[in-house]
Structure 1
Amino acid sequence: MSPDATVALLPLHHRDHAEELHAWVTHPRAVYWQMQGLTRDEVVAAYDDLAADPHHHCWLGHLDGVPAFLVETYDPARSAASEVRGRPELADGDLGMHVLVAPPADGADPVPGFTRRCFAATMRHCFADPAVRRVVVEPDARNAAIARLNAEAGFTVVGLVPLATKVAALSTATREAWLASPLSRQEPA
Structure 2
Amino acid sequence: MTTPPAITMRPVDPEQDAATIHSWTSQERAAFWGMLERPVDEVRDIYAYIDEQPHLAAYLVHADDEPLALFQTYDPQVDEIGQFYDRRPGDVGIHLLIGPGHRPSGATAAMTAFLAGWVWSDPAHQRIVFEPDVRNDKSVAFLGRVGAELGPEVQLAEKVAQFGFLTRDAWFARQKPRAARA
TM over 0.5, shorter chain? yes
Q: 1:11 to 1:110 in 2, by over 3 A?
A: closer
For 1:31 and 1:185, locate their aligned partners in 2 and report how far apart those are by CA, in whole Å: 34
- 1:69 and 1:100 in contact (8 A); partners too: yes
**Residue 158 of structure 1: how far off its partner (Å):** 1.4
Q: 1:10 to 1:91 in 2, by over 3 A?
A: same
The size of the alignment, in residue pairs, is: 177
Determine the structure 2 residue equivalent to 1:53: 53
- 1:116 and 1:149 in contact (8 A); partners too: no
Deviates more, 1:40-49 or 1:85-94: 85-94
**Residue 62 of structure 1: how far off its partner (Å):** 1.1
Alignment of 1:28-177 (within 5 A): 28-79=28-79, 83-104=80-101, 109=102, 111=104, 113-177=106-170
For 1:167 and 1:34, locate their aligned partners in 2 and report how far apart those are by CA, in whole Å: 13
Q: 1:181 to 1:145 in 2, by over 3 A?
A: farther
Deviations 1:71-94 (CA, angstroms, capped at 9, x unpaired) = 001101213xxx413234111000
- 1:160 and 1:168 in contact (8 A); partners too: yes
For 2:168 and 2:69, locate their aligned partners in 1 and report how far apart those are by CA, in whole Å: 23
Q: 1:146 to 1:112 in 2, by over 3 A?
A: farther
Determine the structure 2 residue equivalent to 1:17: 17
Q: TM-score, normalised by structure 2?
A: 0.88
Deviates more, 1:109-118 or 1:65-74: 109-118
- 1:99 and 1:122 in contact (8 A); partners too: no
For 1:88 and 1:23, locate their aligned partners in 2 and report how far apart those are by CA, in whole Å: 32
For 1:103 and 1:86, locate their aligned partners in 2 and report how far apart those are by CA, in whole Å: 32
- 1:152 and 1:181 in contact (8 A); partners too: no
For 2:109 and 2:125, locate their aligned partners in 1 and report how far apart those are by CA, in whole Å: 21
- 2:4 and 2:110 in contact (8 A); partners too: no
Deviates more, 1:144-153 or 1:164-173: 144-153
Give the letter aligned to residue 50 of structure 1: I
Q: Which has the higher helix share?
A: 2
**Residue 174 of structure 1: how far off its partner (Å):** 0.1
- 1:14 and 1:21 in contact (8 A); partners too: no
Q: Where do 5+ consecutive residues of structure 2 fail to align?
A: none
RMSD: 2.0
Q: 1:185 to 1:49 in 2, by over 3 A?
A: farther
Q: TM-score, normalised by structure 1?
A: 0.85
For 1:30 and 1:152, locate their aligned partners in 2 and report how far apart those are by CA, in whole Å: 20
For 1:185 and 1:11, locate their aligned partners in 2 and report how far apart those are by CA, in whole Å: 30
Q: 1:85 to 1:44 in 2, by over 3 A?
A: same
